[in-house]
Amino acid sequence: MDSTEDFSPYRSDGKLYGFVCVVTGASQPVGQAIIEELAACDNPPSPTSFAETISTLSAAHPNTNVIPYPFNVSQEPETLSLIDEVLAAFGRLDVWVCSSGLLGPPAIYDTTPEDLQKVFEAHALAPFFALKHAPAAMGKLTEKKGTYPNAVEKKQRYGSIVVVGSVAGTYGGCWGPCYTMAAHASLGVVRSGVAVLKGSGVRVNCISAGQVDVGVDLHGMDVKGMTAQFPPASLQEKEAQQKTIGLERAGRPQEVARVAGFLASGFSSYVTGANLVVDGGASQSGNGETAPGITAGSNGGVKELDSFREVKIKMATPPILSTTSESDISSTCSTFSLTPSEFSELQKKAVEAKSLSYSPYSKFRVGAVLLTKSGNYVQGANVENASYPVTTCAERVAFGKALTTPGSQGPFKAIAVATDISPPASPCGMCRQCIREFCELDMPVIMFDAEGGYSVLKLGELLPLSFGPEHLDKPRQS
């Protein structure tokens, strides 16, 4: 039987009629926009608090009833209680939208199992419980109209589960490991849900959202991931968006919400198991490149991986910060226990060291500076040779000087590298291994470009799964 007749709630005035919808994450901007879309599809959402959103909706659309219902999405009994109350009050359930904004820490070295558990619960457990329990409620039919405004009969089993995920679940590298793993898990719920829902009349789909502008100036805010659920402030910059997004701008909450409205309605009546990417083309702009697999040589060290286990072979580019932004510098110093004067001196001496470069062949100048924990600065520049393999990089020159200079032999607090190109260039693989020999994995590696930008990563992020002195057996006593 064709369900589109009953499952077409959009009318000429843009409203959804008769549907009972659950939206989780409704206190976040995207969640609020989805509420607005489902309640009155012709009006844009207001960037206000949740209470103001409810008040505004009630005044503009008196036949739309938005009921706040605080519950823990990671607790199965609370999900069941919510479903029971919905059925008791309205006799039906039609749409369930799972939306979450929990990011988690940006680096794996700052990530605890508890962090991973929290993010996983928010992104994957909520869709799992919806998939497990909502279909039975969505299959409940009503022969009579309910008593609430716009109520209609429900003569067929149908429903729509919409999971608002992230492009991190498609190609990863968007924030931190927690977020990427949880986004993959939420998409996995959708993929597995098609078979689970067979014969139920209920559909399940995913929205993989990219960067969304939530209308908040992020500069100076705590954006580490567990307390404030926003991406780095540097992504707000117009230049960054032009480089990484096909449409050269961030999305708006209502643009994600409209896709949710489409998936909730009969317009998508033959769409299930789909992953709709809503990222302005960012995944096609070069940052989300993936390879379907990697193949080993004849020694068989690595086998080919299938398309469902895509491997990102190019590390995500770290955000480009500004040396003229007090908030960027303050955040960097706070994260890596540097003082503003130390940061300024690292930049000054790294740029200064470039002038010492001997690079007649490549014309590629590199300056490096080491900061010891005792407060000494040691500079180095790249030294080329007509016999190219004899060339020495700036970082290794700096280490050679430091290790042979009394009082500058470490331990080291930071290393900075400056080049004449933009975006910032990172140390080569050989230099990363050299740094690994003498420095801790959480030491910052600051990379300055020629246009006032910089990026910073921990050594462990630049050289993951590294091999260091501690991996070797101690020399045996003779």
Cα separation, 111 vs 104, whole angstroms: 8
CA distances (Å), 394 to each of 80, 188, 289, 436, in order?
62, 46, 31, 15
Q: Which tokens is 145 given?
A: 């109209």
CA angle 214, 21, 79 (to 5 degrees): 95
Cα separation, 135 vs 133, whole angstroms: 6
Question: Is 393 known to sit in a ligand binding site?
Answer: yes
Question: Is 388 known to sit in a ligand binding site?
Answer: yes
Length of the chain: 478
Question: Is 109 known to sit in a ligand binding site?
Answer: no
Q: Does residue 395 carry a catalytic annotation?
A: yes
Give the side-chain half-sphere CA count within 13 A for 394.
32
Q: Which tokens is 107 given?
A: 């680096």
Structural contact between residues 460 and 109, judged by C-beta atoms closer than 8 angstroms: yes
Instruction: Say which residues have a Cβ less than 8 Å from residue 285's Cβ, sequence separation at least 6.
Output: 243, 244, 245, 246
Side-by-side strand order, sheet with 275-278: 21-23, 95-99, 159-166, 202-209, 275-278
Give the side-chain half-sphere CA count within 13 A for 185.
18
Question: Is 385 known to sit in a ligand binding site?
Answer: yes
CA distances (Å), 204 to each of 93, 164, 175, in order?
14, 11, 26
- Using CB atoms within 10 Å of the CB of residue 260, give its burial: 0 to 12 exposed, 13 to 18 middle, 19+ buried: buried
Question: Is 43 known to sit in a ligand binding site?
Answer: no
The active-site residue out of 342, 395, 440, 461 is: 395
Phi, psi of 428 (to 5 degrees): -70, 170
What stretch of H or E contains 55?
helix 50-60
Cα separation, 61 vs 68, whole angstroms: 16
Side-by-side strand order, sheet with 412-419: 321-322, 453-458, 444-448, 412-419, 366-372, 377-381
Question: Is 439 known to sit in a ligand binding site?
Answer: no
Question: Is 46 known to sit in a ligand binding site?
Answer: no
Active site residues: 395
- Binding-site residues for substrate, please? 382-388
- Binding-site residues for Zn(2+), please? 393, 428, 431
- Binding-site residues, please? 382-388, 393, 428, 431
